[in-house]
Structure 1
């Protein structure tokens, strides 16, 4: 059978071992005929007692062909529907075979791979904590179109299926067993033997070899969608989805729609057809293409090293020194220890260093309570961390990361005291969000071995690491920093050393634009809410309170003092003046002090009444202008970063904006947003905003060039 090895044993059991061209098995153009031809051969067998599906790859099956799906245009939705229906028809033939069918899951079974498993009578997974099982399509703007929504809902019931369908939850085999997704977990070397044993044990047992949804009188788990308790659950789920997506991401809404409209209301085959229609109409949408482009293809290119200097051997950090056991230092320590790297965590006092190690201990205890870690593993991770107040203890580390206060004089002092302790050939990383790396490296004996490492808070949760190349940072150091990021499971982008780098510079523009709107006299609650309706994770004024008004203002003043910024060219003078007054006259420093744009208490937050002083009669502009001013500022700044070489690739900009600074996920990142908005349309809107609100919205040259050439950003 070519890429599907077909073998029938003496007991009449057929084993199909999928081994398609390429690194994984996938639902691509080659899959459909292989699947159908295999089913034809199975149905023609005489003396057949059972069927086993397994894989020759490390993974069982990787899912749909995203390249193909990304290329679907609106006029291709009909053909996609027919193709999906044809595949489902073969799956239904498999479900109705008069013999038991087993999925022998030897590795990851995600998306279309798990849909194949769901069409089997019995699912056995090999023991492998790295294996993931589930339907993650929603995380890429898609929905499981190969029967996954319907079968999962029929299998588990509405409530239990929701996390797997609406959130795309993926679980290891043991958790999949507990959740009811599979039936057994066995050692890998027993997988096929156990599959055959089960098949022989259920011969002639019609109840076992009939899918639950094909059983006469089948009762839907938890009741149908129109039962009173499920109607309440559906209403709650719909409200939560809107709160999370603001109506900007159609995939989870359509999944809930399929679940609601088919669960116990129609027969199984009608439900399948309804799912196919919703899948075919979702796939060509811009949101879907954006998410596939960035969160799959772009992410793979970034993590694969598209920006990493070429022809430099891969490296690993064998011993890490972290200077500063505060919020950032303790998070870096946790991430490194979890990756198996010995860490020396140094602070001014032993008490502070021990407290930094205790942060990791606390996180590990939470993992134990959630069943994600054993006490033995916890102890092994903690044993990797050596807290100290002695500088000499970091001697011999091949990487030292300085994570002290964001002040140049303090960072200079720490560098002078510790750089000589690096191992031969070691390199130095400064954790900073804004301070120029070239300036920080002036005190280094080997500036070519000095690099910026901008971690995001909280480090244990935030997946991005922004690597900043100073003027003298060598390619070898950049490559080693990139490799370290991957070693601790961070997604690295490499950026140039200009004021604010990429992430701080870009996030600052949308925040300051929101403040400018308030300074102009607009309702602050309206501004905050509209920024959330763009798809930002939180309102811009709320975000500024979180990062601290005083901190942002201090950073700005420092950059002015250093000559990095010219206040005479400040694009948002009204906002800067407002923030300065809030600090100097009203002591509104941010959430940490309980006073920012909002007043904070144990009861929650309320807008600060003093903002009424900035309100102006007649200050009224369309909602779309407010939303576009906030979003377009960040998009335009991303384009300028690309134009100036701060960003090395479009993918770095898109991935970095989503993982690090809260770009709306449905846009696919700030630069991808321009592609699907339309180059000509985006340029025209920028010119309109510039005419009404200032030159900061004027289209940069890189945009004009792409418009003239009608070339998308890629």
Structure 2
């Protein structure tokens, strides 16, 4: 929508549902710019814990002389921690940041709208389609996705997701709020996992696929870093938690089954099941995932991975193999991004490039995920994708859009 169509909307009071990792971060960035915040959780203690997160971050600033104690007290006074939905009265924007579960989100939506029926309702989901979540709402036009990245105080991007009914007015208000909290917005259309989570997922799973093929975990992490990613796929999966990864996959399978579709076979899924069920290693939070996290020490790759998955002939990949591992990590993400563009999930090329670098740390040297395809050259990219597909599976098959663009000599602009 043109910015002229709607006067600039300043959010005065934001209600945040859920004071967990995401909610507390959103409360911090909102209060930091002077927005009044109502931080709601199931019990007062959890809500207070969420508020304490902001206090901790501001105390750091005070101790470094970058903020006065008075300024900190003023900012903290903007955050009201509560367990009562009634306290949401007067909020003009709501951000739902509760557990990634449809039923829990629906209940939170209904309870909120009983108090503030007219407030713009934003869901901070990272994977669940917005149009489906909006069915719990009293007004699907006034429902939008706002996908923040963790940690919220450091990550510059917010992915705004348009549901099928979301109005341009709702988009304009959400867009202004993102700018108000000093973040960079990109706008995408609704789909499962939207843009960033879908592409990020392919990065993580490609790493797990390589482990399933017998490559050493160290060389997988190294390949990702040398390709330009900020962290290896196994390390990031530990951060996210293998349990959550499984939950998202199970939910996706259910959703697809309802549409009469299924996920293509992927060696990553059984490996993650094995890590959870047989080895009981769910991730960093429990101190053991693909890595070990010794108290006070540096994380180290869990040696059990070598016995369980690594094949002797692949333990030390050749130079050609190592180059291909790097290619797989970047190509897999670029192909998924091209699919998002083909499906209309991505609305333009700059949002794809900005979103991939700021949201998921896609190799910054490339200029972004679609720019990487331009850099390789579309003909070469399609040819190499087909070679990778023949060797590693259909997930590397280039989408029709790329084949057509290559034939016409087009690039992403």
* Residues 108-147 of structure 1: pairs in structure 2 closer than 5 A: none
Q: Which secondary structure does the structure 2 equivalent of 1:506 belong to?
A: helix
Contact 1:589 / 1:596 at 8 angstroms: preserved in 2?
Answer: yes
Q: Shift in Å at residue 687 of structure 1?
A: 1.9
Q: 1:322 aligns with which of 4, 11, 16?
A: 16
Distance 2:10 2:283 in 1: 40
Q: For 1:294-346, what per-residue CA distance to the aligned partner results, in whole angstroms no more than 9, with x for missing partners?
A: xxxxxxxxxxxxx7777333211111111111111111111111111111112
Contact 1:403 / 1:431 at 8 angstroms: preserved in 2?
Answer: yes
Does 2:346 align with 1:647? Answer: yes
Q: 1:420 aligns with which of 99, 108, 114?
A: 114
Contact 2:374 / 2:411 at 8 angstroms: preserved in 1?
Answer: yes
Distance 1:565 1:658 in 2: 34
Q: 1:615 aligns with which of 281, 286, 310?
A: 310
Q: 1:433 aligns with which of 116, 122, 126?
A: 126
Q: Shift in Å at residue 358 of structure 1?
A: 1.6
Q: Which residue of 1 aligns with 2:233?
A: 540
Q: Which residue of 1 aligns with 2:48?
A: 354
Q: Shift in Å at residue 442 of structure 1?
A: 0.7
Q: Which residue of 2 aligns with 1:521?
A: 214
Q: Shift in Å at residue 690 of structure 1?
A: 1.7
Q: Which residue of 1 aligns with 2:199?
A: 506
Structure 2 regions of 5+ residues with no counterpart? Answer: none
Contact 1:544 / 1:590 at 8 angstroms: preserved in 2?
Answer: yes
What is the root-mean-square deviation in Å for CA atoms of aligned residues?
Answer: 1.9
Distance 2:77 2:101 in 1: 32
Contact 1:308 / 1:482 at 8 angstroms: preserved in 2?
Answer: no
Q: Which residue of 1 aligns with 2:407?
A: 708
Distance 2:301 2:32 in 1: 41
Does 2:105 align with 1:396? Answer: no
Change (3 A) 1:610 1:445: same
Q: Shift in Å at residue 450 of structure 1?
A: 0.8
Structure 1 regions of 5+ residues with no counterpart? Answer: 1-306
Q: Shift in Å at residue 567 of structure 1?
A: 11
Does 2:58 align with 1:371? Answer: no
Q: 2:375 aligns with which of 638, 651, 676?
A: 676
Distance 1:656 1:453 in 2: 13
Does 2:284 align with 1:585? Answer: no
Q: Which secondary structure does the structure 1 equivalent of 2:35 belong to?
A: coil
Does 2:165 align with 1:466? Answer: no
Contact 1:331 / 1:460 at 8 angstroms: preserved in 2?
Answer: yes
Q: Shift in Å at residue 572 of structure 1?
A: 5.1
Distance 1:437 1:469 in 2: 7
Q: Shift in Å at residue 426 of structure 1?
A: 2.0
Distance 2:65 2:404 in 1: 54
Contact 1:462 / 1:660 at 8 angstroms: preserved in 2?
Answer: yes
Q: 1:344 aligns with which of 32, 38, 42?
A: 38
Contact 2:291 / 2:302 at 8 angstroms: preserved in 1?
Answer: yes
Q: Which secondary structure does the structure 1 equivalent of 2:194 belong to?
A: coil
Q: Shift in Å at residue 671 of structure 1?
A: 0.8
Q: Which residue of 1 aligns with 2:396?
A: 697
TM-score w.r.t. the length of structure 1 is: 0.55
Distance 1:385 1:316 in 2: 18
- Greater gyration radius: 1
Distance 1:562 1:601 in 2: 38
Distance 2:302 2:38 in 1: 44
Q: Shift in Å at residue 710 of structure 1?
A: 2.1
Task: Kindly tell me the number of residue pairs found equivalent between the two proteins.
Answer: 407
Change (3 A) 1:457 1:633: same
Contact 1:397 / 1:421 at 8 angstroms: preserved in 2?
Answer: no
Contact 2:256 / 2:263 at 8 angstroms: preserved in 1?
Answer: no
TM-score w.r.t. the length of structure 2 is: 0.94
Q: Shift in Å at residue 691 of structure 1?
A: 2.1
Using the TM superposition, name which of 579-588 and 503-512 deviates more.
Answer: 579-588
Q: Shift in Å at residue 566 of structure 1?
A: 8.6
Distance 1:571 1:342 in 2: 46
Contact 1:559 / 1:565 at 8 angstroms: preserved in 2?
Answer: no
- Larger RCO: Structure 1 or Structure 2 (Cα < 8 Å, ≥ 6 residues apart)? 2
